[in-house]
Every structure is written in structure tokens, then in C-alpha cells.
Structure 1
Amino acid sequence: MLAVLAGAPLIASCRGTERDNAEPQDGPGGQGREGTATGPAGVLGANFNEDPSEVTFPALEALSASWLRGFIPTSDVDGAVAAQPAVRTLLAAQAKGYGTVLSMKFQNVHRPIPSPGSQPMNDELARVERLLDVVMGKVHILTIGNEPFLETRKADRNARLNAFYEKVAEHVIAYRRKKFPSGCTTRLYMGALNHLDMPGGQTAATERWMAFAKKTREIEGVDIHPHVDSTEGAQKYVDYVLPRLRADQRFLVTEFSLVLLWKEHMGDTVAAPFARRYGLPADLKVWQFLKRAVAHPVPEQQWRDFLTTSAWYESHQHFVRNQVDSFRNTGRLAVATYGIAQAAAMVRDLGPDKQPWLLNSLYANRTVQHTSSGELPHNYPVFDDFRALQRTGDHRPVRLGKTPT
């Protein structure tokens, strides 16, 4: 792998200063024009989730990406915040002119969600402040919550969840107003909704989530994570959130994929012509081929042949291109981000029931042999589609005006 971002210089703190007063106001992609600071519009960036270890600036430059997103579990800020990989990576990227999105992850799936006024809530808010001390006024978008309904116990996915996240949001808003009374370059969104396309996914709690975002002036929109089995499933997310937003709000899509469709085919047998061409067992299953490729990466042509001969994949090969076009056509997309690389967690314990996230990534860095030049192998055809979706106005350096606090 190429050198990671860990050694990249971090941007100097702008906390409590007015140094960004001279920045131009926003254009459609945050590139700068005179006018109202409305934030980025229709941008497509790259996403590393919690693991930036595979992310390099040469890899990002090869994608022509101008925005980068990751998340941090708030439990990690008990240590040195600026040293946390996600924070360090995003600050390094921001120093190089990238737009940045940081999602705060509150992991409550194995414990009762803290109640406002309780000691666990106060402890959580203290962690939030330590994080804000480092990132507020630096990252361009801060998302309050990562996947709140999946990261909370089922018993708490109700008004208790809403009360917790509303308290966090109010605390973040108050902090930003106090530290940046004349405006701040960090915009606030409520974190990502999941499973809106599934039975039972739209609840009283998701309604309250949207109502809170709509009525809270400082919140500029909501995030969605449509990991789906069809384009129709992704459309259900958009159809749910858009009517529930204010006219001046936008939505984020910091994760999206057809991973649920891919999973349906893990037990399929690989295509017979493909198996014959490469001398593979005739009864080899898709998941078994993937497991083999992780253990012994295959030549790029073999990986491409595997995908093109898999009808379930080939018939949806341009999902990313089509979905980004659909998001942009709403006129309300702020930023969408898509997974960069095949991370270690994606290939651990690979089996027929594991979500095949590794089929999504822009780089096939764990299943395809690397070239002698060191360039990461591209994943077919999403790498080329991702590059083609980059717009001239979205190039670096990203310059955003202030948003009122």
C-alpha cells in the first residue's frame, strides 16, 4: 500500500478566530461565488467510514475526488482527539483543500441509551465537547449521529432515542454559537437514517427525527444511508426525507450501495464459462470465489471477468452512476460519498452470510493483484463511473462561506 495520511500536515486551528472571514461564499459545489452561503450542492466524494488506513492522497487524486468523509466513535475521544485516525485524516485532507464530512457515532447498542440529565449523558456530552474543541470550524460538515437507529438497542428506538440525540444536537448548536458568534464554516446535519425502505423502518421516532431537524434553524438537513437491494429501495429514502425538510435544507448520502442485492447471490454458483476459463471447480460458489481472491488476489482481468459474467452484478453495474444522477436531479443533494477501499473488516470471516461490502469499493485492493507501479487496482466499473461523475466546479480547494450560528 502507498503511504497513509498519518504523516500529512494538519491544518492550524481556527477555533475562536475570524480567519475564514475572507473566504468566498459558496457556489453549487462549495467552490466559491458571491451570494448566500448555502453550502455544497450535488457533490460526490469518497468515504472511508472509520478506517482510513487504506486512504492515500494519490488514491484520492486518481479519483479526482474533492470531498472526504469518515466517522468517529465518541468513545475514542477519551484519548488524544487529534491523534484519532479519522480526525487526523480529515484534518490533513482539509489542509490540502478537500471538503470534509465527519459523523459522530454514539454506540448504544449494548447499553441503555443515556437520558438527558443523567451522569452517562453528561459524560457523553463531555466527550462531544472534547471532539468539538478539535474539529469545529475545521471540518466542513459535522453529522450528529452516524446510524442512530442501528447503533441503539431495539428497546430504545423510540422517544428515548430522540431525546438523546436532540440533547446532543442542542449542545453542539450552543457550543458553535458560543465559540463562533459571527458564523462558522462547520455546517450541522442530523445523522443517517437506515431501513426506510423496509417494513417497520418508518416509525414515530423517525417522524420526530425529521420534525426536529425541520424546526431547528441551525440544522441544515439530514443524512441517509440507503444500503438497498434495488434502486426503488433507494428512492423510498428520498421520497421520505424530502417532504419533511424545510425548503432551504438539503440531504446527505454519506453511504449507499446495492450490498443487499449482492448478498442475495453469495450462494450462487459462479458462471460456467468463467469457471472453465480459469480452471475453477464447476460448483464453486460466489462467496467461495471471493474468499479465494482475498487469500490469493487474482489478476485484474480475472476479477473483471468474474463480475461481467455474474448477471446479478452486470445488470446493475452502473448503479452508482445512475443513483448519483437521481440524487442530483432532486436539486436537494448536498454531498454524497462512496466507499474508497476494501477494508480489513470487510474480508474478515468471509462466508455465505457475510455482507459482501468488498464488492462495492472503488478500489479492489484486497482481491486484485497490485501492479508494479504501486497504483491500487480499480474496481470495475465503479471507479470509472465515479471519476466521470466529478464536475468541474467541484475541484479543490473547496472554499465554503460561513453559516449563521
Structure 2
Amino acid sequence: MPLRLPIIALATALTLSAGSGETMKPVKPLAYGALGANFNQNLDALDYRELRESGARWVRGFFPMPATDQGDPAAHFAIKTITEAAGRGHDTILSLKFPYDRASFPQPGSPEMAAELARLDRVLPAVLGKVDILTIGNEPFIESLPAERDTRLNVFYETVARHVIDVRRARCGGDCATTLYMGALNRLDLADRRTPAAERWMTFVRETPELAGVDIHPHVPEPENTQAFLDYILPRMRPDQTYLVTEFSLVWHWKKHLRDPIAPAFAQRYGFAAGTQVWQVIKAAIDAPFPQRQWNDFLTSSPWFMDQAGFLRDQMRLYRGTGRLAVATYAFKQDDLMTTDFGPAKDPWLLNSVYVPYTVRPRGNGLSAPSLWLKDFKALQKS
């Protein structure tokens, strides 16, 4: 059974007295247990008014490393936005994304690896000491060639991680304000994803003292599947390590229901033909965004959605109950990639979002409409 520690005690910064009578700087808490806003690649969609409305202090997004070749990384919207948010008092997480799903991992000592490390040398000065958490990797077991999800993946990410650690030590010293995690593991609820490479990943995390822990992305078909992620990572970490959950959702549950017929009462009220399927209503909302009430009525009339209406509360209770959660961040805002070519085979990420600018008409002053998730998201800021 995983160690269970009191969240409130861990979330309180401790002040220790040195032997000389001097007051040392506050010790960073082991586990924050926070819930924040995840923007993935869409940090340019951040609206501080929506963050204030939701109560979110933590902001997370990722930076695609190939973008370094296009100019100064500090000027890229992802890094510019995340560091601006940090400057405005928000706690921040930036994941470094290495997309190798269409090319082989470079080998240590090769010109290709030298080029990748040179990219890091341009990115790291822009974020070290500014963002609170830097995650090395986004979804390595997805952003790689299937045939290379073995030791080749491990060697690449271990090489990158050691370079980040060395640069961080040189630039920040031992008390750098930026904490390092390795990320992120997917679908650990499936036995075939708990591979030798995943095991080596966790061994590296555990045996590398500069790493605070690991990131996981429990996108699951049923809420109970998340427990498998925790059962896997917690025994494989040091007692002083924590974990991130920078993405989590029921996207695979939603997808199973895209071809379900909609509720007859909803169809009659809003003029849809009998037998209209869920995906067709979502597509109609994308093509011509609904009034807020119509979108809410669509979801509240859908048993597949309402049966899981407590998902956010229940998942945060699970994560916080371990005493080892640093930060979880939840999908904050729909984006255009979620809506492009929407059909019954599309992954319905847009149903996760706290704000729904692509399926519901905007409110006044340019604010996006909130989804049904906002109430629980706000309440969980106070837990």
C-alpha cells in the first residue's frame, strides 16, 4: 500500500533554524496536492480573467523542441506566456516535448544528438529559475516510433535528462527554483504498456537524485483504471519523490459513446431528428456554437456523461489521498485541433475542457463559456 501522508502538513512550507541561529530559506513542500490549468500546445489561449474565475494558480503547457530552430525560444509564445504567467504570480509547469514519432532517436555522440543538446542549451536559459517545474519529456511512449520504445528510448531521454541536470546545476546551483520531473507515462492500466523500457524509466527516476519524480497522463476508459498508474509508479519511487498528473481525462470513455443516440427529449426540444447520434450533435455545435443552455442540456440529458459527472472530484480525491501528489493539471480550454474534421472516429478531447469556446457561444467581453466542469474545478482549488 502506498505511503499516505497528510496533505495539509506537506503543503506548508517549513522554516528551519541553522546551528548558527540563522533562518534558512523555506523548504519546498514534498506534495502540494494542487489542481491547475493545462493548456498543452495552446498557451497562447491563456486568459487571465478565466484563470481568476476558476481560481487556478498553476498553469501548465508544453514546448515542442523543434521550434527552437525557428528563432529565439524566449520569444516563442509557449515560453513567453509561461514565463509571463510566472512573473504575474502563477505557479508554472513547462514540459519539453521531443517529437520522434517520425524519425529515429539520435544516438549519444552523434551530430544529431549534439544538435538536440544544442537546442536545450538555447531553451534552458529562458526557463530555468523562472518556471517552477520543468518536465523532461511530454509523452515519450507515444512521441516515438513504435519499434523504438525500448532501450533506445531510455538512452535518449537519459542523455537529455543528464544534460538538463548539468545545465541546471551550472546556472542555478543547488537551490534552483526550478524542480525537475521526468514525463509522462501513458496507459499504465494496460499490461502491455508496463514494459522493460517503462521499468527502466522508473529506475532512472528513482536513482537520479536531482529528479523530484515522474509525470503520468491517466487518460482512461473508466475512472477505476487510474489506480493502476499509482500502483505502478509509487513503489518504484524514492520516499522523498512526488508525482505530477499534468493530463488526465475520460476521453476513451467519451469516445465509446459517440455513436449513441441522443435523448429523445433533447432531440425534440432542439429540433434534431430521432436517432441523431452524439457525435452529430457535437459536430453541429462546432459548426454553429450552441447557446450555453443548449450545450448544458445536451450533456445533462446524456447518461454516459452524467454517470461520470463526479470524475474530477473523485480523481483528485484519489491523487491527494496518496500524499504524494505534487500537482495535477486538467484540460482548461478547447482548441481548434479538437474540432478539426470532427466525426465518430475523432478522439473527443473537447468534452474534457473547463472552458468551451468552440462549442458554445462566447460570453460578453470576449470570455469563453464555461463547461459543467467549472464548478468542481473551482471547488477543488479550496480543498
The question of a shared fold, defined as TM-score above 0.5 by the shorter chain, is answered with yes
Distance 1:179 1:263 in 2: 45
In the alignment, which residue of structure 2 is the partner of 1:3? none
Distance 2:32 2:133 in 1: 13
**1:52 CA drift (Å):** 1.8
Q: Select the residue among 333, 338, 347 that pairs with 2:339.
A: 347
Distance 1:188 1:122 in 2: 22
Q: Select the residue among 130, 154, 162 that pairs with 1:170.
A: 162
In the alignment, which residue of structure 2 is the partner of 1:75? 66
**1:284 CA drift (Å):** 1.1
Give the 5 Å matches for 1:6-405.
28-29=10-11, 32-35=13-16, 36-78=27-69, 79-380=71-372, 382-391=373-382
**1:40 CA drift (Å):** 4.9
Q: Is the 8 A contact 2:251 2:347 kept in 1?
A: yes
Which shows bigger deviation, 363-372 or 254-263?
Answer: 363-372
User: Match for 2:49: what amino acid?
Assistant: P
Which shows bigger deviation, 252-261 or 39-48?
Answer: 39-48
Distance 2:240 2:194 in 1: 23
**1:157 CA drift (Å):** 0.2
User: Match for 1:128: what amino acid?
Assistant: L
User: Match for 1:196: what amino acid?
Assistant: L
**1:317 CA drift (Å):** 0.8
User: Match for 1:34: what amino acid?
Assistant: T
User: Match for 1:188: what amino acid?
Assistant: L
Q: What's the CA shift string for 1:174-222, capped at 9, x where partnerless?
A: 1111112242000000010011112411000000000000000000000
Aligned partner of residue 96 in structure 2, secondary structure: strand
**1:37 CA drift (Å):** 2.4
Aligned partner of residue 191 in structure 1, secondary structure: strand
In the alignment, which residue of structure 1 is the partner of 2:5? none
Distance 1:236 1:100 in 2: 27
Q: Is the 8 A contact 2:334 2:357 kept in 1?
A: yes
Aligned partner of residue 51 in structure 2, secondary structure: helix
Alignment coverage as a number of residue pairs: 365
**1:83 CA drift (Å):** 1.3
The gaps in structure 1 that reach 5 residues or longer are 1-25, 393-405
Distance 1:27 1:85 in 2: 36
Q: Is the 8 A contact 1:74 1:105 kept in 2?
A: yes
Distance 1:248 1:372 in 2: 47
Normalization by structure 2: what TM-score?
Answer: 0.93
Aligned partner of residue 53 in structure 1, secondary structure: helix
Q: What's the CA shift string for 1:48-107, capped at 9, x where partnerless?
A: 001123211111111100100000110011211111111111011001110000000001
CA 1:59–1:27 in structure 2 vs 1: closer, same or farther (change >3 Å)?
A: farther
Distance 2:364 2:129 in 1: 41
**1:299 CA drift (Å):** 1.1
Q: Is the 8 A contact 1:27 1:39 kept in 2?
A: no
Distance 1:373 1:243 in 2: 49
Q: Is the 8 A contact 1:339 1:362 kept in 2?
A: yes
Q: What's the CA shift string for 1:242-287, capped at 9, x where partnerless?
A: 0101000000000000000000001111111110111111121111
Q: CA RMSD, aligned part only?
A: 1.4
Higher helix share: 2
Which structure has more relative contact order (CA 8 Å, sep 6+)? It is 1
Q: Is the 8 A contact 1:82 1:88 kept in 2?
A: yes
Distance 2:364 2:41 in 1: 29
Aligned partner of residue 175 in structure 1, secondary structure: helix
Distance 1:212 1:246 in 2: 11
Aligned partner of residue 43 in structure 2, secondary structure: coil
Distance 1:182 1:242 in 2: 25
Distance 2:190 2:165 in 1: 32
User: Match for 1:295: what amino acid?
Assistant: D
**1:373 CA drift (Å):** 4.4
**1:375 CA drift (Å):** 3.0
Aligned partner of residue 129 in structure 1, secondary structure: helix
Distance 2:350 2:221 in 1: 16
Aligned partner of residue 321 in structure 1, secondary structure: helix
Q: Is the 8 A contact 2:13 2:28 kept in 1?
A: no
Aligned partner of residue 200 in structure 1, secondary structure: helix
